[in-house]
Structure 1
Amino acid sequence: MTTFSPHTRVQLAARARALQRGFTIVELMVALVLGMVLIIGVINVFVTNQQTFRTNENLGRLQENARISFELMAREVRQAGGNLCGASLMANVLRNATTAWSSNWDAGVLQGFDGAEDATGIVTTGTAVNQRVADTDALLVLSGGMFDGRTIVSHNTATAQITLNTTSHGFAANDIVVVCDGQSAAMAEITAATSAVVTHAIGAGAADNCSRGLGYPTDCATAAGNSRAFQAGGFVTRMSASTWYVGNNPRGGRSLYKIASTGTQEIAEGVRDMQLDYLLRNNATGVMDSNWVAASSITDWTPASNSQVVAVRFKLTLETQASVGTNQQPITRQLIHVVNLRNRPS
């Protein structure tokens, strides 16, 4: 067994105490400061990445809302006034043809309303949910070429019955349809649908047909009207009527809305404003106007007007749903899209 002198034992004890000694207060404070600097750096990187993610996500949603808005409106505007057969003559035997906005074809298949103009009977301007925002434009579009049609097999004008090529046509009583072939088209209400047969008889209701005759021009003076049998190979399709506008959404913001026969639909969130301009062409000379004009400058939207709208320019102002801008405000973008009408005679 090794024996140490008293002096050696004292030295060993002092060395042991030195080895067991902890950090000094200065060392501890330096370590804490370095740790805090590291943590702050990590938090700053996390917050920066999170903000970048939120900004990119909101910009992505803004661009998607813009794409949806332009795509859906353009799809309808291109088909304004059209039908599946390409016929240029349109009869309208609906009783309410001149009173209901959704079926007044002769008033104009495309009608614009400036921010100061009231789209009477379509949508009111106000601050309530679904109401149109003041000083924003609106657009009405009518078309008989938006949906797939069912092929006509035969047409019995005496009984006002059209036989289709399928029993799964999807039509029902009270549906507003467009019947067409290569010569003309007609807008009417289906009063009955049985198997492959749809009927367009005269009814007593406010929205029924005024006559059985679907020929052009419209004749509501007699029950037979202007009788015309549509040829086999023609089509029956649903009528499309819609009005596009910017309205107040239920979340306190604004959205693009569409009024259709099925009711009011919210289409895209974050659309703050819509301004529309129109390009006209003189039908007599075929000359295009050199400037775009506002809806208030157009006095005649009817198909008989000598100056017809051939293109619409959409200006949408959109904003992000969150305040992700550098000024802690929503990011705003204005985008422009031009759409040509396909169903204007050249």
Structure 2
Amino acid sequence: MRLQRGVTLTELLIALMLGLLLLGGVLGVYLSNQTTARTTEDLSNLQNRIRLAFQVMSYDLRSAGFLGCNNSERVVSVVQIAGANPVWLNWQGGLMGTAADAANNESIRLMYAAGRSSSVVTHVPPRLNLNQQSELSVGDLGVVCDDTLTSIFQVSAVGNNWLEHAAVGLNCSADLGFNNPFLCNVPRTRLYPVDAMMMRFETVRWFVAASEVDANLNSLFREIIVAGVPVREEVLFGVERLSFAYQMRNAPFGPVPFSAALDMTQVIGVNVVILLADGAYQQINVGEGMRTVEFFVAVRNR
């Protein structure tokens, strides 16, 4: 009978050790690939969020000052709170910068006509009869203009191919006419002619505030006005600083910082700098250069 030999304990231990070393190497490569994949995905998501913020803010900046007709400087607003224009309707040509706050963050307000336009058929105050159904709802801000005047108001009623601007809600008057200085109780009857343009009025603010996800970090917000009430949306998480510089008309290229003496009606371009918070993106090791997002946008309607 032939004897059969088994594996010795030493051979078994050596085999197990070699197997563990091989398995450890494979597992290490797998975990490294997983970490790299997660980092790449996180970085891609961050870049997409930055791209979205850039696209939306660039649209607002390019649109600033657009009123639908000839962008006339004669603009009147009958929208008032406590007898005066609300802070979110300080026109100044549709672009208003601010000084840096205590955290060295700036904000910017941009105003413009947007959405689908309608033409005026007849204007019998407070009703504007239109050539089609307006996309505006009661409480929305509207803007109507012709070659000589633009009027901003809150929509008080809507119907089939018409809307109204009665002296209710935020409207201090149903008179859409112009006077300087503006006195709401002085009659300023203004009838808009056939083919005057009717659109939605947007007033948008970009600023940095505490994140709604993590109060320990700040985020970039976009604020709009809905039925006369500011409503904000968190656009980009983890922003440490937001600053703007302004390119002035008839000046050599070189955007300048905001100052109280700056004439915002002469701004033809805005340089934006966003600094991402280092603590918000530690898992993807965002370098100093990658944390700074900078772009320049020309204001088209100046």
- TM normalised by structure 1 equals 0.76
AA partner of residue 194 (structure 1) = G
2:257 matched to which residue of 1? 294
Residue 266 (1) aligns with residue 237 (2)? no
In structure 2, C-alpha distance between the alignment counterparts of 1:219 and 1:115, rounded to whole Å? 30
In structure 2, C-alpha distance between the alignment counterparts of 1:50 and 1:322, rounded to whole Å? 18
Structure 1 residues 173 and 223 mapped into 2: Cα distance closer, same or farther (>3 Å)?
farther
* Matching residue within 258, 270, 288 for 1:312: 270
2:112 matched to which residue of 1? 143
Report the CA distance between 1:302 and its aligned residue: 5.5
Question: What RMSD over aligned residues (CA atoms) do the two structures have, in Å?
Answer: 2.5
Residue 161 (1) aligns with residue 146 (2)? no
* Matching residue within 89, 108, 114 for 1:103: 89
In structure 2, C-alpha distance between the alignment counterparts of 1:115 and 1:300, rounded to whole Å? 14
Point out where structure 1 has 5 or more consecutive residues left out of the alignment: 1-11, 118-133, 282-286
Report the CA distance between 1:217 and its aligned residue: 5.9
Please tell me whether the aligned partners of residues 116 and 135 of structure 2 are also in contact (alpha carbons under 8 angstroms): no
Structure 1 residues 103 and 289 mapped into 2: Cα distance closer, same or farther (>3 Å)?
same
2:12 matched to which residue of 1? 28
In structure 2, C-alpha distance between the alignment counterparts of 1:302 and 1:60, rounded to whole Å? 36
2:194 matched to which residue of 1? 232
Instruction: Answer with 1 or 2: which has the greater Rg.
Output: 1
SS of the residue aligned with 1:299? coil
1:116 matched to which residue of 2? 101
Bigger proportion of residues as strand: 2
- TM normalised by structure 2 equals 0.86
Q: Deviations over 1:123-178 (max 9, x none)?
A: xxxxxxxxxxx22221111112x32222222222xx332101223x2333332211
In structure 1, C-alpha distance between the alignment counterparts of 2:179 and 2:61, rounded to whole Å? 25
* Matching residue within 240, 243, 246 for 1:278: 246
Residue 210 (1) aligns with residue 173 (2)? yes
Q: Deviations over 1:224-273 (max 9, x none)?
A: 41x33323223211211121112221332332111211311111223332
Report the CA distance between 1:288 and its aligned residue: 1.3
Residue 69 (1) aligns with residue 53 (2)? yes
Please tell me whether the aligned partners of residues 177 and 187 of structure 1 are also in contact (alpha carbons under 8 angstroms): yes
In structure 2, C-alpha distance between the alignment counterparts of 1:199 and 1:224, rounded to whole Å? 18
Structure 1 residues 322 and 278 mapped into 2: Cα distance closer, same or farther (>3 Å)?
closer
* Matching residue within 146, 150, 164 for 1:199: 164
SS of the residue aligned with 1:231? coil
Q: Deviations over 1:5-60 (max 9, x none)?
A: xxxxxxx3xx32xx2x2211221121011101111111111111111111111111
2:152 matched to which residue of 1? 187
Please tell me whether the aligned partners of residues 152 and 233 of structure 1 are also in contact (alpha carbons under 8 angstroms): yes
SS of the residue aligned with 2:88? coil
Residue 79 (1) aligns with residue 63 (2)? yes
Report the CA distance between 1:290 and its aligned residue: 4.6
SS of the residue aligned with 1:147? strand
AA partner of residue 254 (structure 1) = N
AA partner of residue 116 (structure 2) = D
* Matching residue within 192, 196, 210 for 1:248: 210
Report the CA distance between 1:85 and its aligned residue: 1.9
1:324 matched to which residue of 2? 283
Report the CA distance between 1:82 and its aligned residue: 1.0
Instruction: Decide which moves more: 212-221 or 23-32.
Output: 212-221
In structure 1, C-alpha distance between the alignment counterparts of 2:252 and 2:179, rounded to whole Å? 31
